[in-house]
Amino acid sequence: MNYYQFIHAVEVKVKEGVEDNITVYIQTSVKNNGTRRLGITLAERGINISPTIYLEEYYQQFQQGNSVDDIAGDILRLYREIRFQRSWEGEFIRDYQKIEGKIVYHLVNREANKELLKEVPYEEYLDLAIIFYVLLEVNSYGMASMLIRDEHLKMWGVTDKEIYQRACQNTWRVLPYEFETMHAVIEELTGDEEPEEKDVLYILSNRIRSYGAAAILYENRLEGIGDYLKENYYVLPSSVHEMIIVPESEAPGKEELCCLVTEINETQVDEEEVLSNQVYYYDRKKRKLLL
């Protein structure tokens, strides 16, 4: 069974397991960097925001021996945990005063998202773009959010600069930063204690580690890292979710760092999550991040 046959087989099984008020269909979504992903959407009557569950990992499970029935059951269990129990559109979204405290920003690659940027407000930052979302909900599975488009600005009667200022006020507060050593993060993720070594690599993200690369934009955050390290440092865009911090005294040459980032992006990071192949350098005297 190829991937497309698998998707439709799962769709049939999921449809058999839902109530009559839920519509199940396959949807192609254009994600970050223009990537397209196939997912299964479960739309509940009377609720106008519906989760889409992407199927690539489930197909890997199928190839490893899991049955379509088991996978459909897992999808239904996940849906019951993440489904929205009320609508978010309507008057809530139309009322800027109700959503202004939920506006946050993400960082994406400017060149890879040039088609998207024709339709959304954004701010340029190095080779990146700062784009804006309404953060609807945060849970253990990540965040549910609505991309802010030019049409929303017209509806709200606000400018892109106002959206940017509001996101600057909100993002650090609703998505606090997390700055940890690489060893600490690996131990947390794997549960294995790493041998004690000198900490030379650090991870900067937010506490839910979703689109946490934007933490480099938080006021005084880069300066604070420089004060902690007591030296200049490199910033490596590991993905849209995090940045790797390398003290200058521990770093190889710039060319080696650039090659490292490019290799990791090509071999270890999903295309949808790639932020940049560039390496950035923080100069403490200039108090500025540079290409």
The domain limits of the chain are 3-82, 91-171, 177-290
> Alpha carbon of 175 to those of 79, 87, 168, 206, 215: distances in Å?
24, 23, 11, 6, 9
What confidence score (pLDDT) does residue 85 get? Answer: 61
Length of the chain measured in residues: 291
Confidence of residue 195 (pLDDT cuts 50, 70, 90): low
Where do the H-state alpha helices sit in the chain?
3-16, 56-63, 68-82, 91-94, 96-99, 150-156, 160-174, 182-190, 221-229, 254-267
d(CA 101, CA 175): 12
Question: Does pLDDT of 194 surpass 90?
Answer: no
Question: Does pLDDT of 60 surpass 80?
Answer: yes
More confident: 86 or 114 = 114
Inter-residue contact 23 to 51 (CB < 8 Å)? no
Confidence of residue 218 (pLDDT cuts 50, 70, 90): very high
To the nearest whole percent, how much of the chain has pLDDT over 90? 73
What confidence score (pLDDT) does residue 30 get? Answer: 84
What confidence score (pLDDT) does residue 90 get? Answer: 56
Question: Does pLDDT of 87 surpass 60?
Answer: no
What confidence score (pLDDT) does residue 86 get? Answer: 59
Confidence of residue 214 (pLDDT cuts 50, 70, 90): very high
What confidence score (pLDDT) does residue 49 get? Answer: 75
What confidence score (pLDDT) does residue 224 get? Answer: 97
Question: Which among 54-58, 98-102, 122-126 has the top mean pLDDT?
Answer: 122-126
Question: Does pLDDT of 233 surpass 60?
Answer: yes
> Alpha carbon of 184 to those of 170, 181, 197, 255: distances in Å?
27, 5, 11, 27
Q: In angstroms, how far is CA 78 from the centroid of its own chain? A: 20
Confidence of residue 81 (pLDDT cuts 50, 70, 90): confident
Tell me the average pLDDT across 259-265: 92
Question: Does pLDDT of 48 surpass 90?
Answer: no
pTM of full prediction above 0.75: yes
More confident: 129 or 89 = 129
Confidence of residue 142 (pLDDT cuts 50, 70, 90): low
Confidence of residue 116 (pLDDT cuts 50, 70, 90): very high
Inter-residue contact 114 to 180 (CB < 8 Å)? no
Share the mean pLDDT of the chain. Answer: 90
Question: Does pLDDT of 139 surpass 70?
Answer: no
What confidence score (pLDDT) does residue 80 get? Answer: 87
Tell me the average pLDDT across 232-253: 94
Tell me the average pLDDT across 195-219: 88
